Amino acid sequence: MKKWIIANQKHLIVWAVLLIYVVSANQLYVNLVLKQGKPVGKNEPLPTQVNPIVYQLSDTLQPVRRNGENLYELSGYAFFQDDPLEKNQIKIMLYSPNLKLTFPTQPAQYPDMIQSYSGYKAGMDSAQFSLLLSKNTLKPGTYQVYILLDGNNGADQAYVMTTGTILKTPNKITYQLTP
């Protein structure tokens, strides 16, 4: 047995390195290479406060390419019902039974999105957002989509569970709205 190990030492080292690569390649890619579409928080609890939030999400998860990265974009708008003109920090939380991820959003301008809201007022455009999501950051499973709003004064923090879910399989990612 010892002679066999010595005779095949190079092959065993190659197989060991290959096995380590296969096990850790995706996590290394997410941590070291990926710049956008990564979560900013993991397994964070939901805020205790549930203020009335008005929101709308797009019907699809659009594939986009940004800075050489293949990502998915989910757009929408969200604001506190009591103060629709307040500028809020908007985050998207993806919850599954095993994993809770918080993603940042970027302000975005989409023609006729927020203007379609029946109570639209000038100045509400800051409520529009875009989420960039990399499929490599999600493990296979179904994720419920939550919207988290942080008010500028720091005291207001609330969330709403949306009717959207993201289904991640090993080969693809899909977004569904439940009626």
Instruction: Indicate the class that CATH gives domain 41-177.
Output: mainly beta
Mean pLDDT of the 146-171 span: 84
User: Residue 67: pLDDT band by 50, 70, 90 thresholds?
Assistant: confident
Are residues 126 and 107 in contact, defined by beta-carbon separation less than 8 angstroms? yes
More confident residue, 17 or 72: 72
Domain boundaries for CATH 2.60.40 within the chain: 41-177
Rounded CA-CA distance 60/27 in Å is 27
Q: Is the pLDDT of residue 86 over 60?
A: yes
Please give the model's pTM, rounded to 2 decimal places. Answer: 0.77
Rounded CA-CA distance 47/156 in Å is 10
More confident residue, 26 or 146: 146
Average pLDDT, the chain: 80
Are residues 61 and 74 in contact, defined by beta-carbon separation less than 8 angstroms? yes
Q: Which residues pair with 148 in a beta bridge?
A: 91, 159
